[in-house]
Amino acid sequence: MAGQFITLEGGEGVGKTTNLNFIQELLEANDISVLVTREPGGTELAESIRQLLLDKEQEAISEQTELLMMFAARAQHIKHVIQPALEWGTWVLCDRFTDATYAYQGGGRNMDVTAINWLENFVQGELRPDLTLLLDAPTEIGIKRASHRGELDRFELEKMEFFERVRHAYLGIAEAQPDRVKVVDASVDLEAVQAQIKSIISPLLKG
């Protein structure tokens, strides 16, 4: 039996890392074998691409180059990590996936989503997440939280308007695909956030 593919999405400062660990512990407590990974990244080559994408000292990266680099990393990740794990019956828990591309490149960069959709089908085939948890909080709250993490990367240095477009794009995806994408109110305290997450994941565990 193939494993379940769960992705965690959201803008800056919504608590993805903390809640990724919570979900991993929840799954393992139910005797589920789970692989935790991230995008861009997950393989040696994909992690190298990640470093280039996040490096604020890097030469100016065009929007088209950024998009292609995202999908190049994703192609490696799917072939060498995600697909094999799912075929073995391992559940895959991924920090960001293609929804992030629609949100950051499509929404934040105002890129034509037709190109993103073509690349999604070309790189992924029929692979799509079984469940996506979208951690959502007002943009100003997320940015304020992110600013406390230390040195900012290339994306985190974008203006507030960029992140507003990212959030709007994410919420648009959730509205269009409510069966897959579940919105979690990440503006509340951590205990309340994790209670929401648990209630969303519980039906999968029973299944």
CATH number at residue 162: 3.40.50.300
Confidence of residue 140 (pLDDT cuts 50, 70, 90): confident
Mean pLDDT of all residues in 118-130: 98
Q: How many domains, the chain? A: 1
**Token pair recorded at residue 45:** 């080559």
pLDDT digits (tens, 9 = 90+) for 41-84: 999 999 999 999 988 777 888 999 999 999 999 999 999 999 99
- pTM for the model stands at 0.93
pLDDT of residue 153: 65
Specify burial of residue 173 (Cβ count, 10 A radius: 0-12, 13-18, 19+): buried
Q: Is 187:141 a contact under the CB 8 Å cutoff?
A: yes
- Indicate if the alpha-carbon torsion angle 145, 160, 197, 6 is positive or negative: negative
Q: For residue 43, which phi and psi values (nearest 5 degrees)?
A: -130, 170
pLDDT digits (tens, 9 = 90+) for 88-117: 999 999 999 999 999 999 999 999 999 999
- Count the helix, strand and coil residues of the chain and give each as a percent rounded to the nearest 5: 55, 15, 30
Mean pLDDT of all residues in 136-165: 79
pLDDT digits (tens, 9 = 90+) for 165-192: 999 999 999 999 999 999 999 999 999 9
**Domain interval for residue 201:** 5-206
